[in-house]
Amino acid sequence: MTAIRTENLVKTFGTTRALDGFDLTVETGQVAGFLGPNGAGKSTTIRVLLGMLRADSGTATVLGMDPFRDAVAVHRRLAYVAGDVSLWPNLTGGEIVDLLTRVHSGQARRDARRADLLERFELDPTKKARTYSKGNRQKVALVAALCTDAELYLFDEPTSGLDPLMEAVFTDEVRALREAGRTVLLSSHILAEVEKLCDTVTIIRSGRAVETGTLADLRHLTRSSVTASTVADPARLAAMPGVHDLVAEDSRLRFDVDDARIGAVLAALTEAGVSHLTVTPPSLEELFMRHYGDETVEAGV
Amino acid sequence: MTATTVTDHRHAAPRGGRLRDGTSVREPWAGTGHLLRLALRRDRIRILIWFVAIVGTVAATVPALEVAYPDAAARQARAALMTNPSAVMMTGPAFGLDDYTLGAMVANELSLSLFVTVAVMSVLLTVRHTRSEEESGRTELLRGLPVGHYAPATAALVHVAAVNAAIGAGTALALLGSGLAAASSLAMGLATAVTGLVFGAVASVMTQVTAHARAATGMAMVVLAAAFLARGVGDVIDAQGSWLSWLSPLAWAQQTRLFVDLRWWPLGLSLALTVVLLAVSVRLARHRDLGAGLRPERGGHAIATRGLLSGPGLAVRLLRGTIIGWAIGLVLMGITFGSLANSLEDMLAEVPDLGAWIGMGSGDLIDAFAAAMLSYLVFGVGAFAVGAVLRLKTEEEAGRGEAVLATGASRLGWVASWFGVVVAAAVVMLVLSGLGLGLGVQAATGSADATARLVGAALVYLPAVLVMAGLALALFGLVPAFAGLAWVLVAWVVFVGWVGALLDLPEVLVGLSPVDRTPTVPVEAADGGPLLVLTAIAAVLAVAGLLGIRRRDIRSN
C-alpha cells in the first residue's frame, strides 16, 4: 500500500519554480524523512499533499485520493503540523487544541491522551496563545496533531523551536506512531532527527528529488573519505574513476572515493604498498552537505 | 508638528532618556532617521494613494462647486438648507450663511469630510507603524540593531506628521490654485494637517494602552466618532458652535472661520492637545515593556466551550469584539442623531414658511431627516461587514485558515459559515441602528411609532450592505491579493452619500453606490425592484467568491 505518491509534480509561483518535476513515494506504515534546505520546496510539497495548493502539472495521491478534489476526505484521515505555526492570539492553548482536534471525532478529545500530551510537553493550556513563545506555539500544534487518531501524519519541520528535552518527547511519540503502523512524513533540515527516526529519506533540492531511498541505499551511493600514507603514484590514483579531490602532501594522500568504487581503489593502494590507511564512512551530514554545499551536485551523482 | 523637532539622530547630540525606574538610557533616538526612511519606503504607494485621493478630491471639488452653484442666488438657496440638523451634522458651524461665497461653501460643506479623512488616515498610519509593528515582532527585530529606545515611536510620529504636512500643503495649494483667498487656503491646509496630527497623537496614546493593534485602532476611532458627534450636536444647539462643539478637535479646525472671518488661534488648541497627548503617550510607554500593554495578560479556559467548537463558533469568537464595538457605536450614534429631530420642530416654528417652501409638513420633515441619518449609519454597517469579511484574508495569510482546513473543514464550510456570521451580525447592526435612531426620534418628538418604523426602514438597507460584503467575498475568493479593494466601494458609498449631492455628480457614478440605489426609506416606499436587483448582485458576488475559494491556492505568508 502506498500512502503518498507524487509523480512529476510541478508548482510555480510567478517565475519561481517551487516544484520542478518532483517525485515522492511513501509506503503505508513507513516513517519517511524529507530533507532539504530552506526554499527547496519541502513546505510547498506538503501543502500540495494537503490540497492547499493545486499543482500546475503532475499527479499527487494521498491515501488513495486526490488531495485537492477530495481534500475534506483526506483531511479526516490525517494530522498536520505546519512549519510556521500561527495561532489565534486571543484563544488559549487548550481551546486551540480542542479546535484542531474537533473534526475527527465530531467533538474535541478530552481524554487521558490529551492530558498526557499536555503534561509531557509541559504546556499550560490556560495561557493565551499570544503569550506563548515560538516553542510553545509549536507544542500546541504538536499536541493537537498527536491527539488525533490519524492514518497519516504530516510534520513540517516539527521540532523547530523545541528544546532537546521536548525533541526527545517528540521522537518517542513518532516511534510510537510507527509501532502502531501509522504513516509519517517528516520534513526537516536536522539530519540527526531524520537518521534517528526515518525508514526512508528523500532529499529535495530546487524542487526536485535528488535522492531517495533507505538510509542504507543512500550511503551506498555516497563517498568515503580516505587518508593513506603510500608510495603510490598520486596522478595514477587521481585518474581512477570514482576518486575525487585528491590532495598529496609528501607521501600522505587525502581523497574522497565513491563507495561503489572503493574496492578497486583499495586494491590499487594495496598493490602499490600502503603503510597507513583510514577510511571514514559518510555521515548523512556529509551527504547532505554534498547536495547543497558545492557544485558536485551539478556534476551528477 | 511638534514631533518634527526630532528629525535625524545624526543631527541630534546623544541625549539621555529616562525609563520607568529613572534609569537613563544613552542615545535614545539612535537610528530614527533610518527607521523614518524605512517607513517612507514601506508606505510610498499608500501615501501616494491617500495624497491623490484627498488632495485630488479637494482640487476637483472647488471647480465642481463653481459649476453646480454658478451665482450668488444659487449659493444662497443652498445656504438656506444648511441650518437643517441633518445638514449641520454632516457639515460644520454655519459661518457666512448670509453671504454664502464659494469659500464659505468650501469651508462649511467640504472641510469636515476632509478633516475626518485625514484623522482616519493618521490613526491607521500611526497604529500601523507602532503597535502593529510591535505586535508582529518586527519592532523587536529592529531594536536588536543599534536603535534607540524612542527611535521607533519617534520615527512613526515624524512619518505621520510628514504625511499630514504633505497633504496639508497639497490642500492649501489646491485651494490657492482654485483662486480662493490665500490666507484662508493656507489656514485650511494647516487645519487639515494639525487635525490629522491630533488624531495621530490620540492613536499613539491608544497604542500604549492596549497590546493589540486592532483594539488600538478601534479605540482611536471611537474617540474620532465621539469628536464627530460632539461637534455635530454642539453645532445643532448653536449654529456657530456651542460649548459642546468646543470639546471636539474637529470643531477647532472649523472654528477658524475659514474664508469668512479667518482666525488662527483655534489651531493652537490642536497643537497644544497634540503635545499633551504625546507627553501622555511617552509617560505610558515608560511604564510598559516592549510588546506588552498596560495590563498583564490574563489566563483563559483550558478547554474549549461547545459554542467555540460549533460550525460558526470560531468566526463568532474572532469577530466578537468587533461586532460588540460596532453595535454599541451604532446604537449611540443612532440615539444621538435621532435626538436632534426636535430641533427640526424648532426650525419650523422659527421659519413657518419653510415647510411650505420645501413642500413638507413637520412629519415629512422628520422622516426626511431620519432617512438621511439612517443612510449615514449604514456606512458604519457596510464598513463593519467589509472589514469582517476581509478578516478571512488575515486568517488565511497567517496560516490559521490552513490549520482549520487541515482538520477536515471544507473550504466552502469555512468561508460560508464566516460569511453567514458577518451577515447575521450586519442584520443585528441594522436593527440596532434603526432602534437607536428611532428611540432618539421618539424621545425628541414624541412620535410613537418612530422606533418600529425606523427598525423596518433600516432593514431595507440590508441588500446594499450585502453587496458591499459580497464584493469583499468575491475579491477574497477570486483575487485575494486585491481583496482590500473592497474598501474602495465603501469609500465611494461614503463619498457619494456625504458630498455626492453637493457636487452634483453624474447619475452613473452616483448609481455605483448600492446605498444610493436603495430607496430612501421612510420617505420613499421600500420599492422591491431595486432591492431585488441589489440582492441578486450580492448573491452573484457571494457565489463567485465561494466558487473562487474552492478553486484557488490557499496562500500563506
Domains of chain A: 2-218 (3.40.50.300), 223-281 (3.30.70.120)
The answer to whether the CB of A156 falls within 8 A of the CB of A1 is no
Q: In what order do the strands lie in the sheet with A152-156?
A: A78-81, A152-156, A183-188, A31-35, A200-205, A208-214
What is the residue range of B45's domain?
A: 1-19+28-294
Structural domain contains residue B474: no
Euclidean distance between CA atoms B152 and B520, whole angstroms:
48
For A212, list phi and psi in degrees, rounded to 5.
-155, 145
Structural domain contains residue B179: yes
Residues of A in contact with B309 (CB under 8 A): 98-99, 102, 107-108
pLDDT band at B361 (very low <50, low <70, confident <90, very high): low
Give the 3-state secondary structure of residue B506.
coil
CA distance B400 to chain A (A): 6
Question: Of A108, A111, A52, which Cα lies nearest the Cα of A83?
Answer: A52
pLDDT above 90 as % of chain B: 61
Structural domain contains residue B287: yes
Q: Which residue type does B520 have? A: T
User: Is residue B17 predicted with pLDDT exceeding 60?
Assistant: no
A130 closest CB neighbour out of B297, B317, B407:
B297
Amino acid B11: pLDDT: 42
Q: What is the pLDDT of residues B367-408, one digit of tens each?
A: 888 999 999 999 999 999 999 999 999 999 999 999 999 988
The domain total for chain B is 1
Q: Distances from the Cα of A280 to the Cαs of A254, A257, A262, A275, B557, in angstroms?
A: 11, 10, 12, 17, 43
Amino acid A156: pLDDT: 93
Strand partners, B210: none
Amino acid A151: pLDDT: 94
CA distance A285 to chain B (A): 30
Give the 3-state secondary structure of residue B314.
helix
* Mean pLDDT within A83-102: 89
For A196-210, A221-235, B43-57, which range has the lowest pLDDT when averaged over its residues?
A221-235
Structural domain contains residue B518: no
Q: What is the pLDDT of residues B488-536, one digit of tens each?
A: 999 999 999 988 888 888 889 999 999 999 988 888 887 888 999 999 9
Amino acid B363: pLDDT: 73
Q: Nearest residue on chain B to A76, judged by CA atoms?
A: B408
A94 closest CB neighbour out of B211, B298, B302:
B302
Structural domain contains residue B520: no
A98 closest CB neighbour out of B303, B318, B408:
B303
Structural domain contains residue B74: yes
Which pTM was predicted? 0.84
pLDDT band at A122 (very low <50, low <70, confident <90, very high): very high
Euclidean distance between CA atoms B218 and B207, whole angstroms:
10
Structural domain contains residue B188: yes
Name the average pLDDT for chain A: 86
CA distance A80 to chain B (A): 7
Largest CA distance in chain B: 73
Q: What is the pLDDT of residues B237-289, one digit of tens each?
A: 888 889 999 999 999 999 999 999 999 999 999 999 999 999 999 888 888 88
Q: What is the pLDDT of residues B57-82, one digit of tens each?
A: 999 989 888 888 889 998 988 888 88
Contact of B318 with chain A, judged by CB distance below 8 Å, is answered with: yes
CA distance B485 to chain A (A): 22
Structural domain contains residue B106: yes
Q: Distances from the Cα of A172 to the Cαs of A121, A202, B387, in angstroms?
A: 12, 22, 45
Amino acid B323: pLDDT: 95
What are the DSSP calls for B434-487, one per residue? HHHHHHHHHHHH--TTHHHHHHHHHHTTHHHHHHHHHHHHHHHHH-GGGGGGHH
Amino acid A24: pLDDT: 95
CA distance A242 to chain B (A): 44
Tell me whether residues B402 and A110 touch, CB distance under 8 A. no
Euclidean distance between CA atoms B66 and B74, whole angstroms:
10
* Mean pLDDT within B137-146: 83
User: Is residue A297 predicted with pLDDT exceeding 60?
Assistant: no
Q: Nearest residue on chain B to A126, judged by CA atoms?
A: B302
Euclidean distance between CA atoms B273 and B269, whole angstroms:
6
Q: Nearest residue on chain A to B319, judged by CA atoms?
A: A90
User: Is residue A300 predicted with pLDDT exceeding 70?
Assistant: no
Amino acid B389: pLDDT: 98
Q: Nearest residue on chain B to A118, judged by CA atoms?
A: B302
Residues of B in contact with A85 (CB under 8 A): 399, 403
Q: What is the pLDDT of residues A179-190, one digit of tens each?
A: 999 999 999 877
Q: What is the pLDDT of residues A240-253, one digit of tens each?
A: 888 888 888 888 88
Q: What one-character DSSP code corresponds to residue B496?
A: I
Euclidean distance between CA atoms B546 and B540, whole angstroms:
10
ipTM reported for the complex surpasses 0.95? no
Amino acid A291: pLDDT: 64
User: Is residue B219 predicted with pLDDT exceeding 60?
Assistant: yes
Tell me whether residues B303 and A95 touch, CB distance under 8 A. yes
* Mean pLDDT within A3-31: 94
Cell triple for B24: 537613563
For A44-58, A249-263, B166-180, B372-386, which range has the lowest pLDDT when averaged over its residues?
A249-263
